[in-house]
Structure 1
Amino acid sequence: MSLTPQWLDELRARTTLSTLIGKSIKVQKAGREYKACCPFHNEKTPSFTINDEKGFYHCFGCGAHGDAIRWMTEQRGLPFMDAVKELAAAASMDVPAADPRAAQRAEQAKGLHDVMQAAQDWFVGEMNGADGGGARDYLKKRGMRADTIKAFGFGYSPDSRGKLKRALRDFGDPMLVEAGLLIDPEATGDVKRDSYDRFRGRLMIPIRDPRGRVIAFGGRILGAGEPKYLNSPDTPLFDKGRTLYNLDRASPASRQTGRVIAVEGYMDVIALAQAGFGECVAPLGTALTEHQIERLWKMVEVPILCFDGDAAGQKAAIRAALRALPLLRPGHSLCFATLPQGQDPDDLVRASGAAAFESLLAQSESLVDRLWNHALASSPLDTPEQRAALKQRLSEYTDVMTHGDVRAHYAQIFRERHDALFFARRAFTPIPQRTQRAQRGKVDRRGQWQAPIAPPITETRAIRATGTEAMLLCGVIAGLFRYPDRIKAHLEELSALRIADPAMAALMEKLLAGAMREESVETNGLLTILGTGELYNRAKGLLRADALTFTFTRKKADENRARRDLDEAIRVIAAGPEIDAALAEATRAMGEDLDEASYLRQQKLRELKAAHAQRLADLMQPEDTV
């Protein structure tokens, strides 16, 4: 059947979203919209909004967002076509009929599904029978629980050329060959032999489609021999480049966790599921393909790829990264978790528990970082030619990106990192600076503070007087006294800061004024400006080597590193109020006019706020002694 975009739009238009959702949860009128307590997360105050006019719902608390069809698939858990059929019936619309050729293919597929299910039942029976002792011992050795064995449908194929063929003879050889269960010698030119079982002497693992139907098998050899794993060939039901193992179970699990994890193989998926990570999938004996990446993006915007720490695993990770580059679009990316050398997920969770794997995921590396680090490690960077080659490699990454905005941001980040590495320019930062510079305050040449011309739409908050942000501010001011050349380098950002602590605000004002009055500024000169009062004592206290744990507050530190760390700290502390102000403005705009553009802007800013929080946390981590 062919569901055109026009037909789907008509279906959405005929569906009153508030009525549909009201069948499952209590909704109440709120102006032109409806509100309810969000069904996707626990809350007491309604933050879930339904807009019938625009045809979508949105939760300001957890970010859940979608239309009528998505409500049926996400909240009701229906497959897409079942959701469409139910909505169409309620809207008195006929679902477009399939053409004859499509109907014939569907009938053929139905027969093959019956064959595959019969084979699955037979393999399970064989594993539980007299011949399956070796398979049962293997699973016991791997620590598989009985409930896991049942849930994932483990079976066994006896070491025989014809047992399966005889057991399923009612289906006929042609259908068994088409299903990939038998090998047809005639296909290889050997007309003297009969067809025979493809899987022999192997632990059998069923591969299912998103609806949970068996479409193929993976077989692991139990004794010596090659290949270690054998997959079904491509069939009318199974395309290994488009299929992800465990997708049927991982999809509902990912809706609960908000993430999906791609690992290298079946047994990795199963071991992690047994350890509590049900949102795992795996490619099927090949590198992650473009189709599989797109399928992951239908589940979450930034899936986690978790590969082994050996050379083969890291090669697979960078291959997936490169394949994703032409597909990148706003909001959709990849991140990478790397297992310890010599360990697979099963080893890790058995040795260190589920918390160790959770910690590994928390340290995932972004796609831009993975590309940058791979480019850096590809060759030495000692000569001008080698450094130019690095820049060329980075350009090759961005050249294949098809989305203009994504390509521009990657190019900017790579350029800033390259220049910071080799030309001592400002280090990389993804935090946008406010473009309305006329609205910033500044210090004039006489050292006098000038107020901003006009306040922004949403005024930035002050740097807090307590907590981690205040501690970072103390470190920044101490660092500026120790490295006063960084004041002019960050004059605009520092001038724009609003500081809640009066003493710290006065210290910053003195630093800015001193830097503007003098051509070259030294620590002692800045201290002299403070006189002998309370500010002087505060500054001297900050300059004590044991006062704070940052590299830029220590007496004995690598100066280049300390300056880089101080630059980063200034950008982080300046960005926090800016992001909060932008997010507040975006949230206010959404409240006035909830549309896709305002929703996407708010989501971007929420991601930016989370990234900023991580940068702040990273800066507050104690450094090893330099």
Structure 2
Amino acid sequence: MSLTPQWLDELRARTTLSTLIGKTVKVQKAGREYKACCPFHNEKTPSFTINDEKGFYHCFGCGAHGDAIRWMTDQRGLPFMEAVKELAAAAGLDVPAADPRAAKRAEQAQTLHDVMSGAQDWFVAQLDGMDGGEARDYLKRRGIRPETQKAFGFGYSPDSRGKLKAALTAHGEPRLIEPRLIEAGLLIDPAASEPEGKAARRESYDRFRGRLMIPIRDARGRVIAFGGRILGAGEPKYLNSPDTPLFDKGRTLYNLDRASPASRQTGRVIVVEGYMDVIALSQAGFPESVAPLGTALTEHQIERLWKMVEVPVLCFDGDSAGQKAAIRAAMRALPLLRPGHSLGFATLPPGQDPDDLVRSSGPQAFEAVLSAAEPLVERLWAHEVAAGPLDTPEQRAGLKQRLNDITAAIAHPDIRAHYTHIFRERHDALFFARRPFTPQPRRNERRPADRRGPWKPPIAPATDEAKTISNSGLEGLLLRGVVAGLLRYPVEIRHHAEELSHLRIADAPLAALMELLLKSAMREEIVETEALLTILGQGDLYNMAKGLLRADALTFTFTRKQAEPDIARRDLREAIRVMAAGPEIEAALEQATRRMMELLDETTLLEQQKWRQIKADHAQRLADLMQPEDML
């Protein structure tokens, strides 16, 4: 039958899933969904949900998930076409006429699925048998629990050139089965790479030998390929099935069948580098993890991730190879970006992979890594700024060109415009922040020690409309810089407690960290950086604080370890004054603009112009702080 995706979607749309399931299972209304005791495993409390609007069911107990067709095949045990015909009859749809070529392809695919299923069963049996001792010891050393081993279907391929072939051809006609084994990627055919005469004297042989076997499944949970890890010496360390009619590694994500339903519960998807990372994270409580299969993340895989969540988090190793993989994924995503859809980037501590981290520090440490994930724009900016020195005009022009190349790769016009604006603003802040004019001293006149002088914020009129401090742009950079400075020079917290306590901070984690710093400083007469970190404990705020202390990209004297303490503290005090004045100036300007629009007289116009100038002076001082004088 030639069943197009459009026709199948129409069939699903005409089928009310709760009614279909309710024919054999007692269901009850629960808000916009229905719930029931799961028919796929024994339970007393309902964890099986049915969503008619989205057309799927899901069990939060055993992970069973599917649509109307999947229900008929899994719960009723019907073959696919019989399930389709029964649903079509109930929905009043005519099943499309038979297409001989499509039928042949479907039959061939089903045969390959049967072959892969048989191989999976045999690999599992070998792991439990006499030959599987070394593989079982490896799983034990890696801390893989028995329930995890069963859920992911671990198996073992003996170190033999023909055991799998013999086992799968023993109960059928070898001349018919052997070509299917080759097509499925389970056997290697010498004829594919050797001269015809020589190949004719050699037989096909097992592809996977002496390896721990990990099945790779499609979105429906069917085995379509295998990954094999070598147990002794040898290369490659990991070997995947070749591309076959069932398996295209550039379009497949490992663990998609389990991560997709889990992502609906957690609201996120975590992308890691390999399947052992996925398995370790799933065992540690992160079932929404997936991995590409030996290749960089492809455009098709990115689109597949976006079908699950709008901003999947890429969590690659902190080494050079991991970070290069992250940037390659970022570049591939640029032409695909659309409103609301992007990528997040979380970086593991150097020298650790997800398994190392959760085993040494627990799941909460990995959760903290995820909480510190950067948006795509931040990762791209940081990567390009760190790509090389920026001392000469040519090097700085090179940075600008690289940023322009990034924005040019973005297809969506609105997103491209926002990236262009952000990059231009940050680039100009780095290199073109204007300095206030300072006249040269006359002869015999000593130059002041601080040529900038302390900045005094203007007195804004009383208003209850003070703006919240943003977490983006120069304002956001200054905010993070001030918090980092307070962590490095905690004695300044008590001196500026009143100004700091009245700040309204948009970034919730930063606001929580600021509140804790104030409380800690007010309780202690003298407080030091290490004492503050101890008070913060080992949670998200601790990780944020440590990250801010390492934030060398923040170009403030008071965030740098090597800065002169007296200069750094002076600049920190000025930064606090500038930051605290910003919201009041914004509110005063809005109030003056509103009065001018209402009265339209010269007095209110002059008032508005005065606050416009004050805002410009404030913005200039903010830009000056981004490039302190000892860095010029």
Kindly report which structure 2 residues correspond to 1:59-98, keeping only aligned pairs within 5 A, or say none.
70-72=54-56, 77-79=65-67, 82=70, 91-94=91-94, 96=96
Gaps in structure 1 of 5+ consecutive residues: 28-35, 41-65, 427-480, 501-537, 577-626
- For residues 45-98 of structure 1, give each alpha carbon's deviation from its aligned partner in whole angstroms, at most 9, with x where no partner exists: xxxxxxxxxxxxxxxxxxxxx996624367994248658969865542335456
Task: Provide the residue aligned with 1:182 in structure 2.
Answer: 187
Contact in 2 for aligned 1:263/1:305 (Cα 8 Å)? yes
Quick check: 1:101 aligned with 2:101?
Answer: yes
Deviations 1:280-322 (A, max 9, x none): 1111111111111111111111001110010011111101111
Distance (whole Å) between structure 2 residues aligned to residue 127 and residue 341 of structure 1: 34
C-alpha spacing 1:542/1:321, structure 2 compared with 1 (3 Å): closer
1:523-542 equivalences under 5 Å are none
Return the offset for 1:543. Answer: 10
Which residue does 2:512 correspond to in 1?
none
**Counterpart in 1 of 2:348?**
339
**Structure 1 residues 293 and 499: alpha-carbon distance in aligned structure 2, compared to 1, 3 A threshold:** closer
The 2-side partners of 1:121 and 1:74 are apart by 26
Deviations 1:436-471 (A, max 9, x none): xxxxxxxxxxxxxxxxxxxxxxxxxxxxxxxxxxxx
Offset of 1:102 from its aligned partner? 2.1
Q: 1:295 to 1:381 in 2, by over 3 A?
A: same
* 1:424, distance to aligned residue in structure 2 (A): 2.6
Whether the 8 Å contact between 2:11 and 2:88 is mirrored in structure 1 is: no
Distance 1:264 1:499, change over 3 A: closer
What do the CA deviations read for 1:142-175 (whole angstroms, capped 9, x no partner)? Answer: 1111111111111111111011110011362111
Aligned to 2:155: 155
For residue 120 of structure 1, what is the aligned residue in structure 2? Answer: 120
Deviates more, 1:352-361 or 1:384-393: 384-393
Question: Which residue does the alignment assign to 1:325?
Answer: 334
1:229 to 1:484, Cα distance in 2 relative to 1, 3 A = same
Paired residues of 2:358 and 2:366 also in contact (CA < 8 A): yes
CA distance in 1, matches of 2:518, 2:145: 53
Taking the aligned partners of 1:368 and 1:179, their CA distance within structure 2 comes to 41
CA distance in 1, matches of 2:347, 2:497: 44
Is the contact made by 1:2 and 1:98 (CA closer than 8 Å) also made in structure 2?
Answer: no
Aligned partners of 2:584, 2:21: CA distance in 1, in Å? 43
State the match for 1:364 in structure 2. Answer: 373
Retained in 2: the 8 A contact 1:3–1:96?
Answer: no
Decide whether aligned partners of structure 1 residues 108 and 16 sit closer, same or farther in structure 2, where only a CA change above 3 A counts. Answer: closer
Structure 2 gaps of 5+ residues are 36-49, 72-82, 436-452, 468-494, 502-516, 522-547, 549-555, 559-564, 588-632
Instruction: After superposition, give the CA deviation of every residue in 1:505-559 in whole Å (9 maximum; x if it has no partner).
Output: xxxxxxxxxxxxxxxxxxxxxxxxxxxxxxxxx9996599x9898999x996466
Amino acid at match of 1:175: R
- Counterpart CA distance in 2 for 1:102 and 1:246 is 28
- 1:17-32 matched pairs, under 5 angstroms: 26=29
Q: Does 1:312 align with 2:321?
A: yes
1:484 counterpart residue number = 456
| Letter of the structure 1 residue corresponding to residue 113 of structure 2 | H
Following the alignment from structure 1 to structure 2, what is the Cα–Cα distance between the partners of residues 155 and 89? 42
CA RMSD of aligned residues (A): 4.1
Q: In the alignment, which of 397, 402, 422 is matched to residue 393 of structure 1?
A: 402
Quote how far apart the aligned CAs of 1:496 are.
8.1
Checking the alignment, whether the CA contact within 8 Å between 2:456 and 2:577 is kept in structure 1 is no
Report what 1:205 is aligned to: 214
CA deviation map 1:97-150 (0-9, x unaligned): 563322211110100000001001111111111111100011111111111111
CA contact (8 A) 1:79 1:211 kept: no
Alpha carbons 1:419, 1:425 under 8 Å: kept: no
Instruction: Indicate conservation of the 8 Å contact 2:126/2:157, yes or no.
Output: yes
> Does 122-131 or 94-103 show the bigger shift?
94-103
Structure 1 residues 348-385: Cα deviation after superposition (integer angstroms, max 9, x where no partner): 11100011011110001110000000010111111222
Query: Quick check: 1:109–1:237 contact (8 Å CA) kept in 2?
Result: yes
Q: Which residues of 2 match residues 220-235 of structure 1 at below 5 A?
A: 220-235=229-244
Change over 3 Å in CA distance of 1:543–1:125 after alignment to 2: closer
Give 1:498's aligned residue: 465
Cα distance change on mapping 1:367 and 1:131 into 2, 3 Å: same
1:268 Cα shift?
0.5
* Separation in 1, partners of 2:289, 2:577: 40
For 2:178, which of 155, 169, 173 is the aligned residue? 173
Mapped to 2, the partners of 1:98 and 1:569 lie a distance apart of 73
Write out per-residue CA displacement over residues 19-63 of structure 1, whole angstroms, 9 at most, x where no aligned residue. 999996648xxxxxxxx46779xxxxxxxxxxxxxxxxxxxxxxx
Inter-partner Cα distance in structure 1 for 2:206 and 2:497: 82
Q: Which segment drifts farther, 73-82 or 296-305?
A: 73-82
Deviates more, 1:316-325 or 1:83-92: 83-92
Residue-by-residue CA offset, 1:202-257 (whole Å, 9 max, x unaligned): 00000011111110000000000100000000000000000011111111111110
Count of paired positions: 444
- Take 2:7 and 2:97, find their aligned partners in 1: how far apart are those partners? 16
TM-score by length of structure 1 reads: 0.63
Q: Structure 1 residues 166 and 18 mapped into 2: Cα distance closer, same or farther (>3 Å)? A: closer
Counterpart selection for 1:379 from 369, 388, 409:
388
Q: In structure 1, what is the Cα distance between the partners aligned to 2:415 and 2:149?
A: 44
Q: Distance in 2 between matches of 1:283 and 1:547?
A: 45
Is the Cα–Cα contact under 8 Å of residues 184 and 194 in structure 1 kept in the other structure?
A: yes
- Conserved 8 A contact 1:253-1:279: yes
Q: Which amino acid aligns with 1:119?
A: A
- What is the TM-score with the length of structure 2 in the denominator? 0.62
Query: Cα–Cα, structure 1 residues 2 and 567, in superposed 2: closer, same or farther, change >3 Å?
Result: farther
Higher relative contact order, structure no. (Cα contacts within 8 Å, ≥ 6 residues apart): 2
Aligned residue type for 2:56: M
Q: Residues 203-352 of structure 1 correspond to what in structure 2 (within 5 A)? A: 203-352=212-361
Task: Name the % identity.
Answer: 64
Seen in structure 2, the aligned counterparts of structure 1 residues 543 and 315 have a Cα distance that, compared at 3 Å, is: closer
* 8 Å CA contact 2:17, 2:68 repeated in 1: no
Q: Residues of 2 paired with 1:185 and 1:98: CA distance? A: 37
Matches of 2:403 and 2:236, distance apart in 1: 38
DSSP-derived class of the 1:138 partner: helix
SS across alignment from 1:168: helix
